[in-house]
């Protein structure tokens, strides 16, 4: 079953890398492969291990011991319990049990703190995952923008190449001058340079997207497709923003740690018990010692004890640990207030960005329409010989800038909408 699951995951990974990927596909891939997300998953697993370690302090401890020694020179004869010069081989064995009864609730509060720390690590992992997702979203639409710029430059190069051919024919007919042809060639050369530059920017955009997703680095372009639903996140949830949830859990963890430190002033009570036995043999003696089994049985002993430890003075270490824990509680409370304030500010800014992007998009559309009309007029005048190549190039450049600005504002509006929905509680990844 485990092998089939691994094969399925490998197949899914291969499919995602080869088939057309939507924005949500890219986000899922980044969640499972981005190095930051993988490190956060390991941190979560480590927090689970820490919780199990804390839980173990509430459980009894059982240990088995064994020892062996050879005595030389003057020592106690285990048979007569008197001093002599005999060499003695002796071994001892013990089974010990210790049960904690009360420790000022230090272990209980430490366990609760570790449980909260595990939940906190989950929220911290979600925060990092969201940051990676926002980075992937920006990289995804940056690819979209660069592709649009490449397409625009290809159209512009084709159009200016057509104008160059027309200008060269006009020179043959005596309508255009050699200077017009030279200037038009310079325009076409500029277009080719800009097309090459935009293609390089597109290649870097693909590389940036791959890097954000944790995908294998390559110069090959990714096959991307647009799902209209990606531009609008699903209905908002009532869940808290993961940064706020993480800060609240941090405050709760520090409060449990404070309780644990206060428990250091209480007595500690534990119940212990054990079973011990020993075996000995006199070296170089003609006397035969009882067998191991008989000695083990005859020398066996049991004990049970109740111990109480009352702290009286430890150099004020407990006092200072409590003071430090109180400071950490105040720090966590202040961080929570700051996080709530920052999320509220970010939400307000995202709302303003979305409104501004919508207004600027409308204005950019109007600008493109106006620049298109102006370019058509200048181009017609150029065809009639009433305008220069410089005028045509200037008008074309202004139109290109307006189109690029329109595309940028369109993408900015999409990203601003996604960001606002995220701060209002929506999930970036659709499961």
What is the model's pLDDT at position 252?
A: 96
What is the model's pLDDT at position 220?
A: 82
Residue located via tokens 């206060």: 262
Alpha carbon distance 229, 24 (integer Å)? 9
Pairing of strands 75-76, 268-283: unpaired
What is the model's pLDDT at position 351?
A: 92
**Which residues, at least 6 apart from 326, have a Cβ–Cβ distance to it below 8 Å?**
258
Question: CA distances (Å), 43 to each of 34, 56, 121, 124, 222, in order?
Answer: 14, 20, 7, 9, 31
Give the residue ranges of the chain where pLDDT is below 70: 1-18, 73, 75-81, 230-238, 284-287
DSSP notation for 63-96: EEEEEEEEE-SSEE-TTT-SEE--EEEEEEEEEE
DSSP notation for 326-392: HHHHHHHHHHHHHHHHHHHHHHHHHHHHHHHHHHHHHHHHHHHHHHHHHHHHHHHHHHTTSS-HHHH
Residue 277 is classified by DSSP as E
What is the model's pLDDT at position 92?
A: 92
What is the model's pLDDT at position 78?
A: 65
DSSP notation for 292-335: HHHHHHHT-EEEEEEEEE----STTHHHHHHHHHHHHHHHHHHH
List phi, psi (to 5°) of 77: -75, 115
User: 214-229, pLDDT tens digit by residue?
Assistant: 988 887 888 888 877 7
pTM of the model: 0.81
Given CA atoms 312, 313, 318, 320 in this order, what sign does their dihedral have?
Answer: positive
What is the model's pLDDT at position 77?
A: 64
DSSP notation for 140-166: HHHHHHHHHHHHHHHHHHHHHHHHHHH
Pairing of strands 87-102, 268-283: antiparallel
Packing angle, helices 106-173 and 317-383, rounded to 10 = 10
């Amino acid at each position: 079953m485990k092998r089939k699951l691994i094969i399925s995951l490998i197949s899914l990974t291969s499919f995602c890398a080869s088939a057309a990927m939507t924005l949500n596909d890219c986000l899922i891939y980044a969640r499972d492969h981005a190095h930051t997300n993988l490190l956060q998953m390991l941190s979560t697993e480590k927090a689970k291990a820490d919780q199990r370690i804390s839980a173990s302090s509430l459980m009894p401890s059982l240990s088995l011991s064994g020892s062996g020694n050879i005595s030389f020179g003057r020592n106690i004869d285990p048979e007569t319990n008197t001093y002599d010069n005999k060499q003695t081989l002796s071994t001892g064995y013990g089974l010990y049990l210790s049960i904690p009864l009360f420790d000022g609730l230090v272990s209980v509060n430490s366990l609760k703190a570790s449980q909260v720390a595990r939940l906190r690590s989950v929220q911290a992992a979600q925060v990092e995952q969201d940051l990676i997702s926002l980075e992937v979203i920006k990289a995804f639409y940056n690819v979209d923008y660069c592709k649009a710029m490449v397409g625009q430059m290809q159209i512009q190069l084709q159009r200016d190449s057509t104008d160059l051919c027309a200008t060269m024919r006009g020179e043959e007919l005596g309508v255009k001058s050699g200077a017009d042809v030279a200037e038009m060639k310079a325009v076409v050369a500029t277009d080719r340079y800009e097309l090459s530059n935009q293609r390089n920017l597109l290649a870097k955009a693909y590389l940036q997207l791959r890097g954000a997703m944790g995908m294998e680095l390559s110069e090959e372009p990714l096959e991307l497709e647009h799902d209209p639903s990606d531009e609008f996140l699903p209905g908002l949830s009532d869940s808290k923003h993961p940064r706020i949830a993480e800060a609240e859990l941090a405050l709760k963890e520090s409060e449990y740690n404070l309780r644990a430190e206060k428990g250091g002033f209480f007595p500690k009570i534990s119940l212990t018990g054990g079973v011990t036995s020993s075996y000995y043999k006199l070296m170089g003696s003609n006397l035969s010692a009882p067998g191991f089994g008989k000695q083990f049985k005859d020398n066996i002993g049991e004990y049970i004890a109740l111990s109480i430890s009352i702290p009286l003075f430890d150099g004020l270490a407990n006092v200072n640990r409590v003071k430090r824990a109180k400071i950490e509680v105040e720090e966590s409370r202040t961080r929570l207030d700051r996080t709530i304030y920052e999320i509220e500010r970010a939400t307000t800014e995202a709302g303003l960005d979305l409104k501004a992007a919508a207004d600027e998009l409308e204005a950019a559309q109007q600008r493109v329409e106006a620049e298109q009309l102006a370019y058509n007029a200048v181009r017609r005048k150029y065809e009639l010989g009433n305008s220069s190549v410089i005028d045509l190039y200037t008008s074309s450049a202004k139109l290109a800038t307006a189109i690029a600005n329109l595309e940028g504002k369109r993408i900015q509006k999409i990203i601003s909408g996604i960001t606002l929905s995220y701060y209002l509680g929506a999930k970036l990844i659709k499961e």
